[in-house]
């Protein structure tokens, strides 16, 4: 898994990244507990709680699963910007990915139907030819 670490940009200090992370946790739907996020990401619940409160720096390999669980574009944490826009970008990317999966499934279904139609077309052609030959013989 590729991890993205905060850039060396002076405006992107560890404190500002941590603040964005705390804001992201705080903006999650209240129905989603930190334990839910821990279960979804496979990260120890105590670790998730310490990340959410800013007591602990987020480990590199935890960035992507936490961003996905929070529904936020991963780059938001490292570049800053508008949290609502980061969530919208993630929602849009998820919708596009879902459409791509559906399109791939439709392509697979069409290919499967085409595979089945070829033998049927050949059988129909053979039946038609047999009927023609039968009529010719009877005439």
Average pLDDT along the chain, 139 residues, taken 10 residues at a time: 46 63 75 89 93 85 88 74 68 76 90 79 77 73
Angle of the 83-138 helix axis to the 14-26 helix axis, nearest 10: 60
The pLDDT, as a whole number, for residue 121 is 74
The pLDDT, as a whole number, for residue 1 is 42
- Residue pair 72/24 in contact (Cβ under 8 Å)? The answer is yes
Alpha-carbon gap, residue 105 to 37, rounded angstroms: 30
Let me know how long the chain is. Answer: 139
**Its pTM surpasses 0.75:** no
The pLDDT, as a whole number, for residue 122 is 76
Domain 14-81: give its CATH architecture. Answer: Orthogonal Bundle (1.10)
**Which of 41-55 are b and which e, b meaning 16 or more Cβ less than 10 Å from the residue's Cβ?**
bebeeebbbebbeee
Neighbouring C-beta atoms of residue 20, cutoff 10 Å: 20
- Residue pair 22/77 in contact (Cβ under 8 Å)? The answer is no
């Amino acid at each position: 898994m590729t991890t993205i670490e905060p850039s060396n940009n002076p405006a992107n200090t560890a404190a500002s990244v941590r603040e964005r992370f705390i804001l992201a946790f705080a903006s999650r739907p209240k129905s989603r507990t930190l334990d839910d996020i821990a279960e979804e990401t496979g990260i120890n619940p105590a670790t998730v709680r310490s990340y959410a409160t800013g007591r602990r720096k987020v480990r590199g390999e935890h960035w992507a699963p936490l961003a996905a669980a929070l529904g936020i574009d991963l780059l938001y944490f490292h570049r800053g910007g508008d949290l609502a826009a980061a969530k919208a970008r993630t929602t849009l990317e998820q919708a596009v990915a879902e459409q791509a999966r559906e399109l791939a499934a439709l392509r697979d279904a069409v290919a499967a139907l085409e595979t089945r139609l070829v033998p049927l077309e050949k059988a129909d052609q053979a039946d038609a030819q047999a009927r023609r030959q039968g009529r010719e013989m009877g005439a």
